[in-house]
Chain A
Amino acid sequence: MNPPDIGLFSLFFASIFTSNILLANFLGMCSFVAISKDMKSSNGLGLAVTVVLTITAAVNWIILHHVLIPLDLLYLRFIIFIIVIAAMVQILEMIIDRVSQKLYITLGIFLPLITVNCAILGVSLFVEIRDYGFTQTLVYGFGSGLGWWIAIMALSAIRKKTERTKTVPAGLQGSGLTMITIGLMAMAFIGFQGMLAVQ
């Protein structure tokens, strides 16, 4: 299996914008909608997702290519990936707790919650489907995390603005308008469609 011929820079750019994990693939929506209420939490979660995404994508790549494929255990990949993600999140939590109490408190509950964030599993599975090489995996994981981070920051800033608006129709206040906003953001991202950078 040869990695697809994609330049690292265009892969990086593509994973942030053109195939944004949130607004193009619609992965990781639950926390996107739930957390974006608050800008500070959004920032913390965005940082956590970026870190975890980069690490798990890389670790899962190593396990995939050096354990699962040689042993012909590919059918176990879903469960193995999830276990790896959970383990990595736990380890990361312990390290952050030990190294930086401040960051640990900032991230709080969001770090364990990342375990069930579908964007993380999604990236690991995309890496498998698209046959990325190791460096590409790193870049793709990091870029996807950044894309997620930017998207949740943008949404939470928009929500801050719309929440202060008293004239929003009563039935749309809160999550209704949030859903519409996400749809419109996704519509704006359609412009990037057809850039064949990811596979």
Chain B
Amino acid sequence: MAQKVELAWSLPPHLPGDGDTTLKVMTDVLIALAPATIAGIVFFGVYSAAVVVVSMLTAAIVEALYLRRSFTPRGLIGDGSPLVAGLLLALVVPPSLPLPLVALGSAVAMLVGKHFFGGIGRNIFNPALLGRAFLFVVWPRQMATWTPPLDGTTTATPLGGGEASYLDMFLGTIPGSLGETSALLLLIGAAYLFYRGRIGWRIPASFIAGIVIFAPIFGGDILFHLLAGGVVIGAFYMATDMVTSPVQPTGQILFGLGCGIATMVIRELAGLPEGVMYAILLMNALVPLLDRFFRVKTLGEA
């Protein structure tokens, strides 16, 4: 009787597996985002905790439903990627956003952004950013209502014309979305990701370089533009997404530069106060093209 032989099959390059699973990578990202999330909840109050929970839970449920997994904790966590996408979405929406909108945005992110394109590793656009862009198109007013931390009144974000000092912006005690505000804690998380080898230096560095070069051209303040809005979370957590960024070093640098430049162009010239989200989505759309222009040289290729 012929016995079925299971052969190990993988695409070259055959890198030695060091035991990394999606779940491990995603756990690291969750750990890295934890300080900023907790600080955001402290700053903005209990309601923002509900936003985080609803967003993560919806993403997990949608994924479990789509993949027909059980609703046990194990089935809901899956490979961890819905939790990361849900958390990232919660971090980039206004902390006072009505919960049904949060859930809808999270569901769109998972379903349209990820599973329509074939699931994990196949998506073209960053799901969390797509969810936010979707919410922004449909509910522009709710998506532009910012509450300052430790206070109940609505004000403009620094990018929307509000006032803030560099220190406030660095520490995060300014109005803004949950995870966009505290540059310090996000950088600590990013340092952890970098230490664990989960993100490369090229994309964040060239993203920031794009802003540093182009801010003075538009007459903007470099430090302000680096600290304000979503640059830190965008450059270190969103643009570096392994799936939606180029694989080859030159492509990565061009990708980062493009993100930075587009961010500055949108901030200074367009009608919107914040451009990081659209800049990254825009460059996401160009990634397959960049990957075709700058391919990893295969062994033996001239």
> Which residues of the other chain, A, contact B289 by a CB distance below 8 angstroms?
153-154, 157
- Specify the main secondary structure of chain B where it touches its partner: helix
B200 close to A (CB within 8 Å): no
The proximity string for B residues 274-289 relative to A, scoring 1 for CB distances below 8 Å and 0 otherwise, is 0101110110111011
Is A167 in contact with B119, judged by CB distance below 8 angstroms? yes
Is A172 in contact with B281, judged by CB distance below 8 angstroms? no
Residue of B nearest to A185 (CB): B285
Specify which of B271, B277, B288 is in contact with A161 (CB 8 Å cutoff): B288
The residue among A153, A160, A181, A192 with the most chain B CB atoms within 10 A of its own CB is A192
Segment of B122-130, B142-150, B156-164, B294-302 engaged in the interface with chain A: B122-130
> Which residues of the other chain, B, contact A169 by a CB distance below 8 angstroms?
115-116
Chain A 1-37 interface residues, beta-carbon cutoff 8 Å to B: 13, 17-18
A178 to B86, CA, bound (A): 25
Residues of A in contact (CB 8 Å), total 32
Is B269 in contact with A195, judged by CB distance below 8 angstroms? yes
With A158-B288, A191-B277 known, 17 other A-B pairs at CB within 8 A are A18-B270, A157-B289, A161-B288, A162-B117, A166-B118, A167-B118, A168-B116, A168-B117, A172-B116, A181-B124, A187-B137, A187-B281, A188-B284, A188-B285, A191-B272, A193-B272, A197-B269
Q: Would you list 29 pairs from A and B whose C-beta atoms are within 8 A, ordered by A residue?
A: A18-B270, A153-B289, A157-B288, A157-B289, A160-B292, A161-B122, A161-B288, A162-B124, A167-B118, A167-B119, A167-B122, A168-B116, A180-B116, A184-B130, A185-B285, A187-B130, A187-B137, A188-B133, A188-B278, A188-B282, A189-B278, A189-B282, A191-B272, A191-B277, A191-B281, A192-B265, A193-B271, A194-B272, A197-B269
B residues near A, CB below 8 A?
112-113, 115-119, 122, 124-125, 130, 133-134, 136-137, 262, 265-266, 269-272, 275, 277-279, 281-282, 284-286, 288-289, 291-292
A residues near B, CB below 8 A?
13, 17-18, 39, 153-154, 157-158, 160-162, 165-169, 172, 177, 180-181, 184-185, 187-195, 197
